[in-house]
Structure 1
Amino acid sequence: MDSANSKITVLYEAPQPEEYLQLRAQTGLSLKSLDGAKIGLANSIFAVILRQEDKLIGMGRIIGDGGCFYQVVDIAVDPAQQGQGLGKLIMNEITTYLDIHAPKGAYISLLADVPADQLYKQFGFDYTQPKSLGMYRLIAL
């Protein structure tokens, strides 16, 4: 894929923990510890990253049990690169993986920040409410 300045490379691997934390911070995602990032990234079911001249500019991952439950996480695009369809590119790679590898009946979930929910709707995701509501528990840093 070519952008205005240089080629964007799509790779099927997790980012390095330090750059992962940096892109999360740049995009307003919640902070994570370096130790947590190392463990989590190594346990990804599937990861896709976008690089431009070796710089991480986008990412997305799938986590879960690999059979019944999958969760799409870490969808992020460098703010300087947003608006170029890179989020769609990441989601296309993720949904293609799921279409090929997830067994019939698998439950695929994600937590969507507004307005990113509109992107996810384009890939077949829908709201769980009112039948169910997302909940979470956070271990503080």
Structure 2
Amino acid sequence: MQRLALIMVMAALAGGARAMEDADGSVAKLSAADQAALDKALDISLFDGKSARVRDVRVGAPRKLCGWVNAKNSSGGYTGYRLFVAHLDDPAAIFDKRGPAVDDYDQPLDAKDRAVCIAAKHLDK
């Protein structure tokens, strides 16, 4: 059993670079599958997903995460932390428009996504 766990950890480490930096260790608390789905969502949704720094990532609803991301824009500069919701079954992240634009996915959070962030305690009602 320990050997299998060690092999899985080694395979995960050899699998390639993570698409984001876990700024506060909150992503490490997620399951490996959720971490991989979040990596993919940010990598697909951001101009430079490999440079993304995430913090305070929490489960707000089944298969939905809410957190804060700081990503680089096309000029190579970080734009500041902004709220995001990642739908893990639909590999894309939605970024709250109230903040500097980082990509083409910017839009105000709809009522369902606001509910995810309220449940994750990132927004007040």
TM range (shorter): 0.3 to 0.5
